[in-house]
Structure 1
């Protein structure tokens, strides 16, 4: 009799409990009920049960758009591309200013000896006649010039330190103004370090460049191809009376204009 009463109670609770959880069968439910040491009630059983999930409801309408986030940091590739575009724009502006027959060509293409943007301290020489005829006096169109000590010798040189890597495409020279002193030929070398100079060659042979035949005419010599260096040296190979000269150097991107 007690068992029947128990089964009836279990069935009643099972019907109520179906609203809270899913029990596979009466036996499992009763086992779970009898093994619960706490005060049995519908609510306590429901609290321990979890029903089978129902079907997914219909999709709701989209919510309002959230605020726009901050821009992320530009990638390295983007920064490199922007820098390259800026360089190309500067290059186009430069080319627009110059043509092969432009009277301003020499000024535009100068690397700074003539106009003084290269400081005196950046121009040195192996020897000098005196401080009045030092290397920094050897600027194109200057009132003075560089004069080597004595009448000069093979191995004397005049050097420019750009302070950083520069591209060089050519050299312009003059002699000592108002005299019969000038350099007739020279060799050139280019160095990225003070102890690492390379001769300017053509077809694998160190090139000897022809230079002046008077004191004032500008003689232009274009390199076989532009070179990049920090230190640039000129070595006189032959001269008239003394090694006396003025000079300027030309930008690498002016190579096609001479």
Structure 2
């Protein structure tokens, strides 16, 4: 939906914190590899409550998410929750049957993990809240539109 292709501008990718400028939210694009140090967003702390947010600029149909860990380092998000909304100050957690969904994340640095949302939703803001990590809270992401689920190669 624009992370990897850079249709989503750097200014639309924010986070609760970043470890340093080499691990800014703008490096959270799927398949990013900058150098031997950088290549993903990494939070300043490894505590629950940190988040990565993507502003799509307008409401768009969301169907899921793809995640990766930090390249060249054994750091990744093992599980996470997602909140979405049309106003960044009024986000709703993605839930099923009244329970917040905890999505399975990564088990290594580079393998892409795909998660579909339980329903298609039209939202502008997507905020990812890591719940468990391996070594450190680091991740790369892409959002998936509904059209991707019906194509021959559903994920980029």
TM-score (norm 2): 0.91
> How many aligned residue pairs are there?
147
Number of the residue aligned with 2:104 = 210
* Equivalent in 57, 72, 93 of residue 163 of structure 1: 57
Contact 1:226–1:255 (8 Å) recurs in 2: no
**How many Å apart are 1:243 and its aligned residue?**
0.2
* Structure 1 portions without partners, runs of 5+: 1-110
Higher share of residues assigned strand? 2
Alignment of 1:117 with 2:117, yes or no, is no
Determine helix, strand or coil for the equivalent of 1:172.
Answer: strand
Partners of 2:5 and 2:150 in 1: CA distance = 22
Q: Is the 8 A contact 1:133 1:146 kept in 2?
A: yes
CA distance in 2, matches of 1:128, 1:146: 7
TM-score, L = length of structure 1: 0.55
Q: Which runs of 4+ in 1 moved over 4 A?
A: none
* One of 113, 124, 139 as aligned partner of 1:230: 124
| Alignment check: 8 A CA contact 1:227 1:252 kept | no
RMSD over aligned Cα atoms: 1.1
Which secondary structure does the structure 2 equivalent of 1:121 belong to? helix
Mapped to 2, the partners of 1:233 and 1:217 lie a distance apart of: 21
Report the 3-state secondary structure (helix = DSSP H, G, I; strand = E; otherwise coil) of the residue aligned with 2:30.
coil
Q: Could you list the runs of 5+ residues in structure 2 that have no partner in the other structure?
A: 34-38
User: Does the 8 A contact of 1:201 with 1:207 survive in 2?
Assistant: yes
| Distance in 2 (alpha carbons) for counterparts of 1:125 and 1:137 | 11
Q: Is the 8 A contact 1:225 1:255 kept in 2?
A: no
Q: Is 1:198 the equivalent of 2:92?
A: yes
Does 1:251 find its partner at 2:141? no
Distance apart, 1:223 and its partner CA: 0.6
CA distance in 1, matches of 2:72, 2:95: 33
SS at match of 2:118: strand
Decide which structure has greater helix share: 1
Contact 1:125/1:158, CA 8 A, preserved across alignment: yes
Which whole-Å CA distance do the structure 1 matches of 2:147 and 2:95 have between them? 19
1:132, CA displacement in angstroms?
1.5
The structure with more radius of gyration: 1
How far the C-alpha of 1:256 sits from its partner, in A, is: 4.4
